[in-house]
Structure 1
Amino acid sequence: MHLCQVAPYVTYPPQMGGDHRTHGLVKEFPAAGDTVVRYCQGGSPAMYKSLDLRRNVRIADGYDEYRHLHPLHEVVKSPMLLGYPNLLAGRALSLANDGLPGMLDDADVVLAREPWQTPYVLDAVDDSTPVVFSSHNVEMERFGDIDQPLFEDRVERRVAALERRSVEGSDLVVCTSERDARVYRETYDPGGPVIVVPNGTYESDIREHRPHSSAARGCRRSHGIPANATVCVFMGSNYEPNAEAAHAVVDIADRMRDTTPPVHFLILGGVGNALSGRDLPANVTVTGYVEDGFEAHLDAADVALNPMLSGGGTNIKLIDFFARSLPVVSTPFGARGIDAADGAELVVAGLDAFPDTIASLASDPERCRDIGRAARLLAAEEYTWEAGSRALHERIIEDFGPF
């Protein structure tokens, strides 16, 4: 099988949750003897920051990423900085699509990410070529929760129209959770089956927590964290629901600034930019994006926080915490779509109860270890990209093969 994957921007190496899903879904296809070529519509901030302006990237034998770096693709993404969806991606492809038509003609199957590009793909492919729509969120819900400064009603109508076209026109729809799949079935008339491939983590990242490693101790020292402090970690990209959660973490930290023994809060990733200009309590450290030492920061933590209140899909960060054997305190919304039991693989609490819940865990290291161990086992058994990729591969062969 030759699969063409269409993505809205550079994906490899993965930086954000959406990148990991885009890569993770096809990661195992080459191992099955198939080939994957990914067309990326424009670049990513991480790529430009690192000056990695390569057009063709070989990821593995039989797995390549082609980057169409064109000013138009970057311009049409600019409204996303104000919280708008990538509504103009499809129209930009109709004007600038270097190499994509040939890739679609050569493909046995096309896998399109999100509804922004999928309608273009549906119009461009031959009727005999199956199109798989890879949903990362129910976008009409996600952007219904986010206020845009202008044209809010028009934006919501356009999002709904693009999502309807993608769901109803595709031959197979892949969702992150059973809930998202149910919403699609109830809201639209899918053109093909709707299946679930959950978000996950990489098998190589599943490991025991290492709080006493020299790297973890060094991380604590570098941030001036007291040796007897309980360290809570939150991480995320600079995306509005993550920003909302980061502000909630700061509020929680403020309530716990005088706790004895102390509690310290690490906020990792680009979401830290959303806190710029806010006065932070002394027990909060904002690191920004961490590449070197990322694992050390997670090992330096005792508890992971997932105080999400909005957004779509399921939280990849939650599974990443599970994979590192960290006990997680999550809001009910943050735990949506994940088959984890409160009190077993995580602790579910409302935001108001986070300080008491953190204090309770801090006083019971054995409980923390038990929850972290159960979470790691759940991630290994149910939530790896490798297992999800193999399941998607089998389903495509079953529905559309042999190739």
Structure 2
Amino acid sequence: MKKILVLNHFPTVYPPRSGGTLRYYHIYNQLSAYYDITLLSQSLSHSGDMVQFSPTFREYRVQKDPLYKQISTRIQNREINYELSLIVNMKLSRRATIYKQYYDDLYEESDIIIHESPYLLRYDRYMGADHKPRIYNSHNHEYLLAEQIWKHETARIHLQAVYRREKKLVQEADLVFAISEMERNSFLSLYNPDPQKIKLAPNGVNPGEWYQRKPGSGTEIKALFIGANYPPNIETVRYIIDHLADQCPEIQFIIAGTCCKAFGISTKSNVQLLGKVRHEQKLELFAHVDIAINPVFVGAGVNIKTIEFLSAGIPLLSTPFGARGLNLVDSKHYFRAEKEDFADKLKLVCRDEQQLQKVAAQGQKYINDNYSWFESAKNLKKEIDQLKI
């Protein structure tokens, strides 16, 4: 069984909850039926551990390096939050860190090296100097994402470093996986790699995990948004609180996930900020809300929340940006709205229960027929098996 080593700047969570951890865990859990998989991740704390998911699937979560605080202190700015750890990790990858020691040890026994992002590329100093295949299994077009959401000038100084690392990965890796045709074209346009090596590995779902839906259990319409503590999600929550809640007082807005962290306690009677929820709570929420909303306006990649909402059979109202990369058809798979008319569209679609359920059923079938972690992993396996090892 070939051995694969995967480098990532964040750890898995089990059961996974947010978009990044959902892809990170499920893709490699599926692939571990065919390869021996080791995830080399960065712990979010000052202690590390090793988790054995199965005999052929494990994760080393490397503790924060003592140098982390030293470097982060130099660039710390109150307006830099999300970007800070990414910038620090790029700088740490040039140092003799604990993560580097783990990588050097695990590299020796690995047949294939996979990068989940460009941020830890410098650790892989043997890239181009050995005969082990390299793969970039992208979650997003990272440079374009950073260019959109890194707002502060202190962070934006480092954008060119992201660009250079991602360009090197896309151009020099033996295989590159993009999560949509849109992202594939973006890589081709910006980095001009060999198009034959850019393949698709979409985000997915496990269609069988959802509870049976029981909407309409109260007098108010319940609209759900869920997301991690991530700048585009925070912007969405602010839009819901400041605009949608006032324009749609008859609708109860339920917001779940760590995206609530920036907002404290809601002062509006029709907004519930649940914060971080367990997996079972998430399944219950999906079963009982009347509609899901995804009014996102920036970002990259494909929203896993959009895939999950539809897979669970929830009617969805989304901006085109929230539905990007999935080839969804308005009023067939979901309902489309722009920022300016989102409230009006929300009130309109909620008046027609029959249409809501018809579109939800069609969206559910489309997603469950075309997007699953099993199929994505099968696509990866087919391409990996063609590499010369």
Give the TM-score of the pair, scaled to structure 2: 0.89
Residue of structure 1 equivalent to 2:240 = 249
The CA deviation at 1:20 is: 1.2
The amino acid of 1:302's aligned partner reads: D
| Match 2:269 to one of 282, 289, 313 | 282
Q: How many Å separate the matches in 1 of 2:54 and 2:377?
A: 15
**How many correspondences in the alignment?**
375
- Provide the C-alpha distance between the structure 1 equivalents of 2:370 and 2:336, rounded to a whole number of angstroms: 20
Matches within 5 A, 1:82-101: 83-84=83-84, 86-93=86-93, 94-96=95-97, 97-101=100-104
Cα RMSD, aligned residues only? 2.3
Distance in 2 (CA, whole Å) between partners of 1:340 and 1:207 is 24
Q: How far is 1:314 from its partner?
A: 0.9
Other-structure match for 1:202: 206
Cα distance, 1:282 vs. partner?
Answer: 0.9
Distance apart, 1:73 and its partner CA: 7.0
Aligned counterparts of 1:371 and 1:155: Cα–Cα separation in 2: 44
Between 155-164 and 141-150, the greater mean CA deviation after superposition: 141-150
Counterpart in 2 of 1:333?
321
Which deviates more from structure 2 when the two are superposed, residues 333-342 or residues 124-133? 124-133
Amino acid in the other structure paired with 2:247: R
Classify 1:236/1:228 alpha carbon distance in 2 versus 1 (closer, same or farther; 3 Å).
same
**Which residue of 2 is the match for residue 115 of structure 1?**
118
Distance 2:382 2:125 in 1: 23
2:289 maps to what in 1? 301
Counterparts in 2 of 1:207 and 1:340: CA distance versus 1, 3 Å: farther
Q: 2-side partners of 1:189 and 1:388: how far apart?
A: 25
Deviations 1:71-97 (Å, cap 9, x if unpaired)? Answer: 347536786625446133244244112
Q: Does 1:182 align with 2:176?
A: no
Residue 81 of structure 2 corresponds to which residue in structure 1? 81
State the Cα deviation string for residues 101-120 of structure 1 (Å, max 9, x = none): 12122111111111101343
Q: Which residue of 1 aligns with 2:365?
A: 377
1:26 is paired with a residue whose SS is helix
Distance 2:30 2:299 in 1: 28
- The 1-side partners of 2:13 and 2:107 are apart by 20
The aligned runs of 1:313-352 (5 Å cut-off) are 313-352=301-340
Q: Which amino acid aligns with 2:55?
A: D
1:63 maps to a residue whose letter is: F
Following the alignment from structure 1 to structure 2, what is the Cα–Cα distance between the partners of residues 206 and 300?
A: 11
Q: Quote the offset at 1:155 in angstroms.
A: 1.8
Q: Which residue identity does 1:314 align to in structure 2?
A: V
Per the alignment, residue 8 of structure 1 pairs with 9
Q: Distance in 1 between matches of 2:179 and 2:5?
A: 20
Aligned: 1:272 with 2:274: no
SS at match of 1:339: coil
1:346, CA displacement in angstroms? 0.5
Map of 1:211 onto structure 2 = 215
Q: Which amino acid aligns with 2:81?
A: L
Deviation at 1:203, TM superposition (A): 3.4
What amino acid is aligned across from residue 170 of structure 1 in structure 2? A
Query: What SS does the aligned partner of 1:98 have?
Result: helix
In the alignment, what sits opposite 1:58? 52
- Structure 1 residues not aligned, in runs of 5+: 218-226
Q: Does 55-64 or 143-152 show the bigger shift?
A: 143-152
The code of the aligned residue for 2:61 comes to R
Q: 1:8, 1:248 → 2: CA distance?
A: 30
Over the matched positions of the two proteins, sequence identity in percent amounts to 22
Aligned letter for 2:277?
Answer: V
Amino acid at match of 1:274: A
Contact 1:270 1:289 in 2 (8 A): yes
The structural deviation recorded for 1:163 is: 1.4
In the alignment, is the contact (CA less than 8 A) between 2:207 and 2:312 conserved in 1? no
**Separation of aligned partners in 1, 2:247 and 2:234:** 19
Instruction: State the Cα distance separating 1:207 from its structure 2 match.
Output: 5.8
How far 1:361 sits from its partner (Å)?
2.4
Offset at 1:391? 1.0
Structure 1 residue 140: deviation in Å?
2.1
Q: Distance between the aligned counterparts of 1:380 and 1:77, measured in 2?
A: 43
Task: For residue 122 of structure 1, report the CA deviation from its aligned partner.
Answer: 5.2
Q: Tell me the TM-score normalised to structure 1 length.
A: 0.86
Q: Higher mean Cα deviation, 121-130 or 74-83?
A: 74-83
Shift of 1:356: 2.2
Corresponding residue of 1:222: none
**Is 1:84–1:148's contact at 8 Å kept on the other side of the alignment?**
no
8 A contact 2:248–2:347 mirrored in 1: no
Q: Which runs of 5+ in 2 are unaligned?
A: none
